[in-house]
Amino acid sequence: MARPVTGSLKLEQQVDGTLRFRLRFTAEGKRETLMLHEQRDCDCGCGGGWSERTGRVELRNIIARIEAGIWERPKPKPPVEKQFAQMPTFHEYASYWLQAKLEGLIGEKPIGENTYAAYRTMLKCHLLPFFGRYRLDEIDRELCAAFRKHKIKEAHELKEALDAGADIRDERNRKVVPLGPASIRGLLNGLGAILEEAVEDDLIPVNYARSKRLKVHVPKPKRTFLEMDELACVEDAAGEQDPSLERFVLSAREARPGSTAAAVAVGLSEGKRQKRIAAELCLAPGTVHFHVRNLGALRVGVYVGRKAMLCTLGRSGVRNSELSGIRIGQLRLHDPEGARFRIPTSKTETGIRNVEVSPYLAEVLIMHIDRLRRAGNDTGPEAFLFQNERGRRMSRKRVGEIVKEAAALATEKLQQRGLPPLPHITPHSLRRTYISIALLANKYDIKFVMDQVGHADSKMTMDVYNQLQQRAKREHGASFDRLIRQAREQFYGDAADARGVLDNVLDNGDKPAPETPKTRPTERGQNPRISRENAARRARGSKAGHNCFQSCALPTELSRLWPAVQGFSSVSSRRRRSRDPPGCRWCSSTPLGAGLGAQPYLLFAARRAAGDQCTRRV
């Protein structure tokens, strides 16, 4: 049994009369000493302001960390010096600014490691080579404009050289990529942030980096999402890029039973790696490699779960960074309340959430984990769901490459069918694809979709929603034509006569047109003549015949066309000699049709003579 960790505290008085507390303890078999000072604002790294009581509390906390195995010896941090003897150069003040951001003296909270690395790269590669030697009071509007011009020109020249076929690399033998408008704008924003703190420290009066003339126009990227059939094509393409085990199953059946070749083929058919096969069969790695080469499996890649990765991105809407950080222990695929997984860390607070999993995606993930287990990968609770070829966490860059390769294969398949190619696809494009399909599947339940993807603001969700609304407008034209055809059918009275050649082609011409119910003629005794006053009163009290159609009536000038109507009518001479002018029996605004009674063809004749049509039901 290991001895318990103990420690001691010793008080020592310094020359200035303040106390120093010496903490002694054992960590990892070594005797460690830690000094705590009573003097405030101590520059040794302890922070100062310690007392005997707080020193003993710190000693107990250190012993608890040692027993838990998480204690690390504190590293002294360089002091942040804000007082400058004279006007500092940009290099001096930028170094102070970066350290202050790291310590949390500037900003709402200390910056993270990734943000610190990005700021450091920005200063080292771009800002310091141009502004480093200048004093802060020498950085004026002209110098900032010269920096902007220099970066734009440098990016343009580099782009021309790369387009000409030049292979330009940096000191680390990496290909150089020209800066885009967004990157140049980011450099100007970083310069403005540094000079803004210099203004707060009363070192310079004006921040010239915030001038409106320094703005760089950044074109808005075209953010698209895939159609449902395109998403299915990309998923199938990724599945084809996963190493297939069927060929090894056939090789194992064809090989001589009990031979080494058959045993190696069986191991490959189970998804095992060569190293594991050699260990299980007690063979040399070279022997296994010889049989693998004979089976033609040298170019077969290691399984990483390409289809499972594409399905997770397109069917759950997680971010690229969230996908890389999912651990197997966070999955609940057999939960009675529904399959889901947990996102414990995200760039926003709302990003920490439970993501519901569809039944298809749950089956894909189950098969993916089973194949990882057969390949000998770690499938414990702390293991990553998506691992690289070495069994470690998959990087975001590699995820983007896998998405790009699957999209390229899917584009080839689409072009073979005579379909247009896919747009530029990134992991975030699949996130937007999920949002679009989820909105359609859940009847535009924006709150549910926001909770699924972890949106704190509905701006992006509504952006995709607006694009869906624009796509839905493609059916509005057909709906408009359908309404006009229905109005024409009701106007003519016979759907077969009202439909033209184009109507039959565009509106499912193979289906029989619906027959318009014919009005039963009424006898004169059952429907006495209606006066103008009664017709107007009936029109005001009833809206029959005006539903779903625009309000219109024949102009009063049709009264002058009454003689032309007589040629189209076949009613008795008594009605033709009626003193009532023709009109629409449904419209009280014009004196039309009070004398037409129940003869709809008279109204048709009047409109035909006038060259006008009425969309109201007769």
Q: Kindly tell me the burial class for residue 316, based on how many C-beta atoms sit within 10 Å of its own C-beta (0-12, 13-18, 19 or more).
A: buried
Q: Which residues lie below 8 Å from residue 488, measured CB to CB, with a gap of 6+?
A: 498
Task: Report the SS3 class of residue 572.
Answer: coil
Per-residue model confidence (pLDDT) at position 391: 81
Per-residue model confidence (pLDDT) at position 261: 82
Q: How far is CA 145 from CA 194, 209, 216, 497, 526, in A?
A: 16, 8, 11, 74, 92
Domains of the chain: 7-68 (no CATH), 90-214 (1.10.150.130), 244-300 (no CATH), 457-520 (no CATH), 532-610 (no CATH)
Block means of pLDDT (10 residues each) for the chain, 618 residues, are: 76 84 85 85 75 87 85 67 76 93 88 89 93 93 94 92 87 85 93 94 91 87 82 91 75 78 80 78 84 64 85 92 92 83 82 89 92 85 89 89 93 91 91 87 83 79 66 59 77 60 51 52 48 51 42 42 46 44 44 41 48 45
Q: What is the DSSP letter of 107?
A: S
| Cβ proximity of 354 and 374 under 8 Å | no
Per-residue model confidence (pLDDT) at position 512: 52
Query: Alpha-carbon distance 478 to 482, whole Å?
Result: 6
Structure tokens at 176: 């150089």
Instruction: Express each pLDDT in 9-45 by its tens digit.
Output: 888 888 788 888 888 888 877 888 888 888 876 767 7
Per-residue model confidence (pLDDT) at position 14: 83
| Cβ proximity of 587 and 616 under 8 Å | yes
Q: Which residues lie below 8 Å from residue 34, measured CB to CB, with a gap of 6+?
A: 22, 23, 25, 46, 62, 74
Helices and strands counted in the chain (H then E): 25, 6
**Per-residue buried b or exposed e for 318-344, using 16+ beta carbons within 10 Å of the residue's own CB:** bbbebbbbbbbebbbbeeeeebbbebe
Of 15, 429, 26, whose CA–CA distance to 222 is shortest? 429
Q: How far is CA 604 from CA 345, 422, 613, in A?
A: 72, 54, 8
Query: Alpha-carbon distance 73 to 45, whole Å?
Result: 12
Per-residue model confidence (pLDDT) at position 282: 87
CA angle 236, 399, 378 (to 5 degrees): 90
Query: Alpha-carbon distance 322 to 456, whole Å?
Result: 16
Of 39, 38, 40, whose CA–CA distance to 52 is shortest? 38
Provide the whole-model pTM: 0.56
Query: Alpha-carbon distance 225 to 231, whole Å?
Result: 9
